[in-house]
Structure 1
Amino acid sequence: MQALPRRLHTISLLSLPPKHVNRIQIPSPTWLHNDLARSFHTTGRLRALELAFDYHENGGKAQGAPIVFLHGLFGSKKNNRSISKALARDLSRPVYAVDLRNHGDSPHDKTHNYIALAEDVENFLQQHKLKNVTLIGHSMGAKTVMTMALRDPGCCSNIIAVDNAPVDAALASDFPRYVEGMRKIEDAKVKSQREADAILEPYAKDLPVRQFLLTNLIRTAPNEPLKFRIPVRTLAHSLDDMADFPFNNPDEVHFSKPALFVRGIKSHYVSDETLPIIGRFFPRFELVDINSGHWVVSESPEEFRKGMLQPNPVYILKWFTLRLNILICSSRC
């Protein structure tokens, strides 16, 4: 099997109409057809929660199709404020930056898995009557938008999945350590951010990561200890669910609309080995690499923005090579 190209640039899913997204069409092999697709709406829907959100519309100038932006684990809508404003300005499209359940200002619930997260956001789209949506998600949010697209391809026009893949894969060992440190902070009943940071430092060596995690600390009343607004214990018990993916057979279900996968080249979440399975679930996928770790949007916001918005003429030939390699691997694996 030929080596898959490591760095690619992409034609933007955001700035081009759907018929222009992929300029090279490769016939889909038989395993991409959806004859055996099962329905995920016929039984046992979970209780959808009403999600908090920020709305960015560039002073009323953003009138195009909406974008819905989902954060990652331990994040919130505030993490995506700057990039949401930039997209609303650059694309004249309104952006809804959403807090997923158990995060930010959204309600808490003991159930925290991708089906529950997907149903919450599906309910959000229905409540706000959003059509022709682009779904963008980072990490946990990426698996959520992938789940939504595979459950109901009609829910959106396209998706952008940032640094995650549609596979069962263990979370980085950092995340259980973060949870342990956050639980230590809760148990200590700290009164200041400085105290919290000192407790968290052995569990999260990088200052930006600690600052990110500690944005979840709030004071509910004067002179009361700080507490996390996220349910740390619920999320701790859900780490295995966050590593899983609710679909495991691309012969049964796929999303045939455009899908952009953005990965950090210093991150391990979207390895070259995952590209064939991405191609089977999302046969029209495109790929762009960003010089960052897992926290792509915050580490390299300008490169992330340009990677989505700027076409690159050399992309088409590289994309064809990638697609050919994926088809060869899929037929042999």
Structure 2
Amino acid sequence: MAYNLHKPASGGDEKHEPIIFMHGLFGSKTNNRGISKMLAKELNRSIYALDLRNHGESPHIKPHTYTAMAEDVEHFIKENNIQNPTLIGHSMGAKVAMSVALRSPDLIQDIVAVDNAPVNAQLGRQFAMYVQAMHRIEATHIIDTQEADEIMESYEPIVEIRQFLFTNLLKPTATHDKFRWRIPVRILGDSLDEMASFPFTPGGSAVFTKPVLFVRGTESKYVADETIPLIGEFFPRFQLKDVKAGHWLISENPEGFKNVCLEFFKREKES
């Protein structure tokens, strides 16, 4: 798996109790560069920002499921001899973090799940629209990024989200004469139903008894109040904190997100 390593100023041992940060659908390790540097400084812990499969510079490979991505992360931890890490994941990355916790609780010490819950819930309609837009841009043989933006604008009016999606758009090179997507659009488009699911059912033996922080955006619908009892079935030691933001809360309100994380880690260290 591709990753960026953010180390605190004091250096330290990046193998001992680091944080592993995982992005959401259509994201990459670069999305979390700013918050990773902030948390590394504040917590004096190294942070690995990963590219999950089919994103960024990691391999394009089927299947694109939470079980497969959890296996990737577990392999990354073992291969790099990482001891007692914390997992932080946003959206798709949150479900990956939850899956690792329920599959391999002895590998990690705690998790922070950002704006997602351990439920089968329909993805927002916008994700299917983004896939449609990406296919259309591929088929149009655009000549510049402005033309790509004009196409994407008919599917997504918010410029900041379009800019986020365009971090995956590669410009022509000597070996590729047209714009193309860094991500495998067809694989991800075909996996949208899978991304709406969760690979565990409540009432079974899969329970993570270590600390968990759920962070949700006050203007997001991904962690509804009715999911809270279900969260408790999987994660009995969970805490829930609200941050004034929408679904993209880490970029919308990084200070608010940082503060709830610091409070969580400080409390766990004191307990």
TM-score where L is the length of structure 2: 0.94
Quote how far apart the aligned CAs of 1:197 are.
Answer: 0.4
Q: Rg bigger for which structure?
A: 1
Alignment of 1:26-65 (within 5 A): 51-63=1-13, 65=17
Question: Does residue 1:294 correspond to 2:244, yes or no?
Answer: no
Structure 2 residue aligned with 1:264:
217
Query: Per-residue displacement from partner, 1:101-137 (whole Å, max 9, x unpaired)?
Result: 0000001012100000000111110111111100000
Alignment of 1:82-93 (within 5 A): 82-93=34-45
Question: Does residue 1:273 correspond to 2:226, yes or no?
Answer: yes
Distance in 1 of aligned mates of 2:51 and 2:69: 10
3-state SS of 2:245 partner: coil
Quote how far apart the aligned CAs of 1:220 are.
Answer: 5.1
Distance in 2 of aligned mates of 1:60 and 1:102: 33
Query: Per-residue displacement from partner, 1:60-102 (whole Å, max 9, x unpaired)?
Result: 5344620000000000000000000111111110000000000
Question: Does residue 1:245 correspond to 2:245, yes or no?
Answer: no
Alignment of 1:99-248 (within 5 A): 99-219=51-171, 221-222=173-174, 224-248=177-201
1:55 partner amino acid: L
Unpaired segments ≥5 residues, structure 2:
none
CA RMSD of aligned residues (A): 1.4
The structure 2 residue matched to 1:308, chosen from 257, 261, 265, is 261
| Structure with more contact order per residue of length (Cα contacts < 8 Å, sep ≥ 6) | 1
Quote how far apart the aligned CAs of 1:172 are.
Answer: 0.6
Of stretches 251-260 and 139-148 in structure 1, the one that deviates more from structure 2 is: 251-260
2:158 partner amino acid: D
Moved segments of 4+, more than 2 Å: 58-64, 249-252
1:287 partner amino acid: L
Quote how far apart the aligned CAs of 1:260 are.
Answer: 0.4
Unpaired segments ≥5 residues, structure 1:
1-50, 316-333
The structure 1 residue matched to 2:237, chosen from 269, 275, 284, is 284
1:105 partner amino acid: E
Quote how far apart the aligned CAs of 1:221 are.
Answer: 1.4
Query: Per-residue displacement from partner, 1:179-238 (whole Å, max 9, x unpaired)?
Result: 111111111122321111001001111101100001100125147211100000110000
Question: Does residue 1:68 correspond to 2:20, yes or no?
Answer: yes
Asked whether the equivalents of residues 142 and 160 of structure 1 are also in contact (C-alpha less than 8 Å), the reply is yes
Asked whether the equivalents of residues 62 and 91 of structure 1 are also in contact (C-alpha less than 8 Å), the reply is no
TM-score where L is the length of structure 1: 0.76
Distance in 2 of aligned mates of 1:127 and 1:218: 31
Of stretches 279-288 and 56-65 in structure 1, the one that deviates more from structure 2 is: 56-65
Query: Per-residue displacement from partner, 1:126-159 (whole Å, max 9, x unpaired)?
Result: 1111111000000000000000100111110000
3-state SS of 1:58 partner: coil
Distance in 1 of aligned mates of 2:241 and 2:91: 15
Distance in 1 of aligned mates of 2:63 and 2:204: 28
3-state SS of 2:88 partner: strand
Percent identical across equivalent pairs? 52
3-state SS of 2:73 partner: helix
**CA 203–62 in structure 1, closer or farther in 2 if over 3 Å, else same:** farther
Query: Per-residue displacement from partner, 1:268-288 (whole Å, max 9, x unpaired)?
Result: 000110000000100000011
